[in-house]
Amino acid sequence: MESGEQRLISMVNAGTLTFGPGALQRCAFDLVSRRATSVFIATTEPTLFLCRPLVETLEAAGVRATLWHDLVGEPTLKEFEAALAAARACEADAVVGLGGGSAMDVAKLVAALYDGRQGIMEVLGTDLVACRDLWLACVPTTAGTGSEVTPIAILGDEDEDLKKGVVSPHLVPDAAYLDPALTVTMPPSVTAATGLDALTHCIEAYANRFAHPLIDVYALGGIRLIADNIERACKHGDDLKARSAMMIASYYGGLCLGPVNTAAVHALAYPLGGEFHIAHGVANALLLPHVLRLNIEASPERYADIAQALGVAPSGDPMADALAGVERVIALADACGIKRRLSDFGIERQAIPRMATAAMKVTRLLERNPRVLTEADARAIYEAAW
């Protein structure tokens, strides 16, 4: 498998990207400059305190700010509908997602569906969103999803115990504000989970049936940054250099998701989040080594490149290097305190067949995997992770 140099791809980045100290205040300044009158802010309970400077600046300028923070975990269809109703109730003319991927995904969909011309069930899938009228900003407080620059939003379907995605260029924010200082209060467990999520984004974008040289540079760059900094960020949360590196890596991973996207790791992680409510980054970390081992034969050279970005010294044998890269991924997860067995999370072995069946429905990701994945393969991966 080689990058598709001749394949046509499109990268849709945030209209304006602001990175560094004071990024949140720049967000407030931009909202005031745009003459916003009512700003709807989607966030979560743990990140409420981080919203305070934004709210105070807006209110001092006479702009009404409505904080919606009713997300409990990863967003569901019902929670999205509640957020949409709250945004309409405050007559929002701008939307901000401040928090992790969950808050940003809700904000993106609120802004896109606010006008009522489409409902959420009409846009689940790819390129089904007709337009977006409301100005949208995203402010990440974790370093993992890269949602601040992606055309993707994920919601859980409670009836099917499965996550479902909306993919559209209309979901890419008008502005993204990245301040590493907003991530220093993340607990080590969240730092580890979100960092491994970003690592999975980059690995799956590089080893992908639709890999492209324009994206390869971001994918490998993100892998290097995470390998060099995730341990430090977990153990020394106030290290702004490590936090900055992780935030840049997360951003790089986000840039990979639109044009190339992820593959089997994410597809198999969906049932873990949908049915068992395992955090997305943790689900990826549980499955990543086992999917890598399955995929390596399809493209040992590219997996060797990944291993070298992870810090493995090249031996001249791509297969050996690729396998050493898997061990490096495991070592990183262990160093960050991530549990790596499905059984550690109370998942019973008899759940494996139905998880495999559910995962096979995520065709938009499975079709990108370097190797064709069967339901039997999915069961084997879950067994290996159990």
**b/e code 174-203 from CB counts within 10 Å (16+ = b):** bbbbbbbbbbbebeebbbbbbbbbbbbbbb
Supply the DSSP string of 171-223, one letter for each residue. Answer: GS-SEEEE-GGGGTTS-HHHHHHHHHHHHHHHHHHHSSTT--HHHHHHHHHHH
Q: Is the pLDDT of residue 6 over 80?
A: no
The per-residue pLDDT for 219 is: 98
**pLDDT tens digits, 244-287:** 999 999 999 999 998 999 999 999 999 998 889 898 889 999 99
Q: Residue 364 pLDDT > 60, yes or no?
A: yes
Predicted local confidence at residue 340, as pLDDT: 85
What does the pLDDT look like over 308-351, one tens digit per residue?
999 999 999 999 999 999 999 999 999 999 988 999 999 999 99
Rounded distance between C-alpha atoms, residue 90 and residue 95, angstroms:
11
Token pair for 140:
């990440």
Give the pLDDT confidence of 28-61 residue by residue, as tens digits: 999 999 999 999 999 999 999 999 999 999 999 9
Structure-token match 């209309």, residue found = 170
Task: Give the start-to-end residue ranges of the domains of the chain.
Answer: 16-183, 188-385
Indicate whether 4 pLDDT > 60: no
The secondary element (H helix, E strand) that includes residue 323 is helix 318-335
Residue 202 has what pLDDT?
A: 98
Q: What confidence category does residue 157 fall into, taking pLDDT thresholds of 50, 70 and 90? A: confident
Give the architecture (CATH level 2) of 16-183: 3-Layer(aba) Sandwich (3.40)
Q: In the predicted model, is pLDDT for residue 119 greater than 60?
A: yes
State which fold the 188-385 domain adopts.
Dehydroquinate synthase-like, alpha domain (1.20.1090)
In this predicted structure, the answer to whether residue 5 has a pLDDT above a threshold of 60 is no
pLDDT value, residue 3: 58
- Predicted local confidence at residue 12, as pLDDT: 87
Q: Please say whether the dihedral angle defined by the alpha carbons of residues 189, 190, 194 and 197, taken in this order, is positive or negative.
A: positive
pTM of the predicted model, to two decimals? 0.95
CA distance 152 to 138: 13
For the chain, give the number of residues.
386
Whether 114 shows a pLDDT value over 70: the answer reads yes
pLDDT-derived band at 7, boundaries 50, 70, 90: confident
How many whole angstroms separate alpha carbon 187 and alpha carbon 183?
9
Asked if residue 211 lies in contact with residue 1, where contact means CB atoms within 8 angstroms, the answer is yes
Parallel, antiparallel or unpaired: strands 135-140 and 16-19: unpaired
Across the chain, what does the average pLDDT equal?
95
Instruction: Please report where in the chains the tokens 């995730």 appear, as a residue.
Output: 230
Please calculate the CA angle 50-54-60 and round it to the nearest 5 degrees.
140
Q: What is the pLDDT of residue 27?
A: 98
